[in-house]
Amino acid sequence: MLRMEAPMRSRPALALALLVTALAAAPRAAAEKFEMAVATDSKEVVSAHDSFGQSTARIYVIYKIAVAKATRVKAAWVTEKVEGYQDNNKFGESGSNLEAGSYMSSFSYSRPGAAWPAGAYRVDLYVDDKLEKSVRFRVTK
């Protein structure tokens, strides 16, 4: 039986080719995603709420995220079905630039006027302009 071996000078090239092939076949790192995001009425206490009274002074969306590179996260506040407002109307937006690392932070919106209009709302959370999560809540009379 004749056995053929690659010459010594081509083994590093073969090893490099195998490494490149393995890396290409490996699953890509998961995109940055919100590990946790909840609506609440307090920045100090992470207590998820899905309903708020019209007199709530400020609504927070507290989130936790780990990012592998410099990233922009943003929140868009949207009326899904709210008295006196067009459905799916964006009424506020804010964002933060993050360096690589893990973060727990928040976005917030103050009561508009004397009372929050009753209805269904959502906060869309984006990573580098890609929608990653939506947090829904209601304001009740």
Question: Three-class SS of residue 11?
Answer: helix
Express each pLDDT in 81-109 by its tens digit: 998 999 999 999 999 999 999 999 999 99
Counting the structural domains of the chain, the total is 1
Express each pLDDT in 38-86 by its tens digit: 999 998 888 899 999 999 999 999 999 999 999 999 999 999 999 899 9
With b for 16 or more beta-carbon neighbours within 10 A and e for fewer, the 93-124 pattern comes to eeeeebeeeeeeebbbbeeeeeebeebebbbb
Please say whether the beta carbons of 75 and 34 come within 8 A: no
| 60: containing domain | 34-140
Is 56 within a domain? yes
Distance CA 113, CA 21 (A): 60
Is 41 within a domain? yes
The pTM score is 0.77
Is 60 within a domain? yes
Q: Which of 113, 119, 110, 127 is nearest to 60 (CA)?
A: 110
What is the mean predicted confidence (pLDDT) over 12-36? Answer: 49
Is 121 within a domain? yes
Say which CATH number the domain at 127 has. Answer: 2.60.40.2550
Is 19 within a domain? no
87 DSSP 8-state letter: T
Is 5 within a domain? no
